[in-house]
Amino acid sequence: MKKTIITCAVTGAIHTPSMSPHLPVTPQEIARAAIDAAAAGAAIVHLHARDPRTGRPSQDVGLYREILAPIRAASAVVLNLTTGGSPTMALQERLQPALQLAPEVASLNMGTMNFGLYEMLNRFKAFRHDWERPYLENSDDLIFRNTFRDIATILASCGANGTRFEIECYDIGHLYTAAHFMDRGLLRGPLLIQSVFGLRGGIGAHPEDVMHMRRTADRLFGDDYVWSVLGAGRHQMPVATMAAAMGGNVRVGLEDSLWDGPGRLAASSAVQVARIRAILEGLSLEVATPDEARAMLGLKGGAAVGF
Angstrom CA distances, 201 to 77, 94, 178, 216, stand at 32, 21, 19, 19
Buried b (16+ CB within 10 A) or exposed e, 226-263: bbbbbbbbebbbebbbbbbeeebbbbbbbbbbbbbeee
Is 0.85 topped by the overall pTM? yes
Domain boundaries in the chain?
A: 3-302
Interatomic CA distance for residues 53 and 301, integer angstroms: 33
Contacts by 287-291, CB closer than 8 A, 24 or more apart: 287/3, 287/4, 287/6, 287/41, 287/43, 288/3, 288/4, 288/5, 288/6, 288/43, 288/249, 289/3, 289/43, 290/38, 290/43, 290/44, 290/75, 290/76, 290/77, 290/78, 291/76
Interatomic CA distance for residues 213 and 217, integer angstroms: 6
Interatomic CA distance for residues 109 and 101, integer angstroms: 19
Secondary structure class of 60 (helix, strand, coil):
coil
Per-residue pLDDT tens digits for 258-267: 999 999 999 9
Phi, psi (5° rounding) for residue 114?
-65, 140
Amino acid at 105: V
pLDDT in tens, the chain (307 residues): 789 999 999 999 999 999 999 999 999 999 999 999 999 999 999 999 999 999 999 999 999 999 999 999 999 999 999 999 999 999 999 999 999 999 999 999 999 999 999 999 999 989 999 999 999 999 999 999 999 999 999 999 999 999 999 999 999 999 999 999 999 999 999 999 999 999 999 999 999 999 999 999 999 999 999 999 999 999 999 999 999 999 999 999 999 999 999 999 999 999 999 999 999 999 999 999 999 999 999 999 999 999 9
Interatomic CA distance for residues 212 and 202, integer angstroms: 14
Interatomic CA distance for residues 25 and 50, integer angstroms: 6
For residue 46, list its beta bridge partners: 9, 80
Q: Find, among 300, 304, 276, 219, the residue nearest to 4 by Cα.
A: 276
End-to-end CA distance of the chain: give it in Å, rounded: 33
What CATH number does domain 3-302 carry, 3.30.43.10, 3.40.30.10, 3.50.50.60, 3.20.20.70? 3.20.20.70
Angstrom CA distances, 226 to 101, 212, 295, stand at 24, 16, 12
